[in-house]
Amino acid sequence: MAGHSKWNNIKNKKGKEDAKRGKIFTKLGRYIMVAAREGGADPEYNPSLKAAIDKAKAENMPNDNIERAIKKGSGEGAMDNYEEITYEGYGPGGVAVFANCLTDNRNRTAPDVRHAFDKFGGNLGQAGSVTFMFDRKGIIAIERIDSIDEDELTMFSIELGAEDFEASEDGYEIITTPEDFNQVRNGLEENGYQFAMAEITYIPQTTVELNEEDAKKMEKLIDMLEDNDDVQDVFHNWEN
């Protein structure tokens, strides 16, 4: 994680999601439905559902929407048969890219994802072709404000089970294993800390810099993938 700050990505992602609020709610509703279907409707006993709900609340998704998605996923309404699929490949300049999808029709999703890669100078690869280049970690980002004592936050995070802690001009990044993420997040939340981001994600082991032309193509590739209703998350190792 050293040297790879996520603050620019956090700000860019938030700006994009604010502009696509309805589409984000559709994706989050699908995410919640699948989590409820696979692990039950009680978030206290279903960590995947709790994570989905927390993500939805972070995006200001109305509680009514969240409840409807849980009920639909737990059998109180018709639900399409969504499946999770990951598509992997390389973008312009050799950037490793993969997209996690929830789809009810892989014959629709696969060509759409392939088209996005092809259109912007990338190529879709085989399963496992790039995910080995990423580590699955929990990241909790807290903005830097005067009321937060850095040493106190560092020690408290480590006591809760954090794996790593990084400070920058913008704020603090607390890194956890996926297994310890809920424990650390809940402990910080109970002590009044507010998060700019809190999610289990994929962190690249190495990053790739792009020239101006390839950077523009990469931005368009990410936008096209994220604009697809079937694509839940896009991960890459572009140093932007």
pLDDT digit string (tens) for 97-133?
A: 999 999 999 999 999 999 999 999 999 999 999 999 9
- The pLDDT of residue 147: 93
Question: Is there a single domain that holds both residue 213 and residue 109?
Answer: yes
Between 3 and 175, whose confidence is greater? Answer: 175
What backbone torsions phi and psi does residue 76 show, to the nearest 5 degrees? -95, 30
Q: Would you say residue 182 lies in a domain?
A: yes
Between 2 and 185, whose confidence is greater? Answer: 185
Note whether 79 and 37 are within 8 A (CB): yes
Which band of pLDDT confidence, cut at 50, 70 and 90, is reported for residue 12? low
Q: Which two tokens stand for residue 66?
A: 């969240």
Residue 56 domain boundaries: 7-73
The answer to whether residue 23 scores a pLDDT higher than 90 is: no
Helix axes 63-73, 47-58, angle to 10 degrees: 150
Q: Would you say residue 87 lies in a domain?
A: yes
- The pLDDT of residue 1: 33
| pLDDT tens per residue, range 186-226 | 999 999 999 988 888 999 999 999 999 999 999 999 999 99
Question: What residue type is assigned to position 125 of the chain?
Answer: G
| pLDDT tens per residue, range 57-96 | 878 889 999 999 999 888 876 666 888 899 999 999 999 9
Total number of domains constituting the chain: 3
DSSP codes, the chain? -TT---HHHHHHHHHHHHHTHHHHHHHHHHHHHHHHHHH-S-TTS-HHHHHHHHHHHHTT--HHHHHHHHHHHTTSS-----EEEEEEEE-GGG-EEEEEEEES-HHHHHHHHHHHHHHTT-EE--TTSSGGGEEEEEEEEEE--TT--HHHHHHHHHHHT-SEEEE-SSEEEEEE-TTTHHHHHHHHHHTT---SEEEEEEEESS-B---HHHHHHHHHHHHHHHTSTTEEEEEE-B--
Q: Would you say residue 1 lies in a domain?
A: no
Note whether 182 and 47 are within 8 A (CB): yes
- The pLDDT of residue 59: 81
Question: What residue type is assigned to position 149 of the chain?
Answer: D
Q: Is the pTM of this model over 0.85?
A: no
Question: Is there a single domain that holds both residue 212 and residue 200?
Answer: no
Q: Would you say residue 118 lies in a domain?
A: yes
Q: Determine the Cα–Cα distance for residues 224 and 119; give it in Å rounded to an integer.
A: 10
The answer to whether residue 3 scores a pLDDT higher than 50 is: no
Question: What residue type is assigned to position 94 of the chain?
Answer: G
Question: Is there a single domain that holds both residue 218 and residue 191?
Answer: no
Which CATH number do you get for residue 99? 3.30.70.980
Q: Would you say residue 110 lies in a domain?
A: yes
Which band of pLDDT confidence, cut at 50, 70 and 90, is reported for residue 51? confident
The share of the chain scoring above pLDDT 90, in percent, equals: 66
Question: Is there a single domain that holds both residue 92 and residue 112?
Answer: yes
Q: Would you say residue 78 lies in a domain?
A: no
The last residue of one of the domains, among 73, 93, 110, is 73
User: How far apart, in Å, are the Cα atoms of 240 and each of 4, 16, 218?
Assistant: 10, 15, 10
Which band of pLDDT confidence, cut at 50, 70 and 90, is reported for residue 143? very high
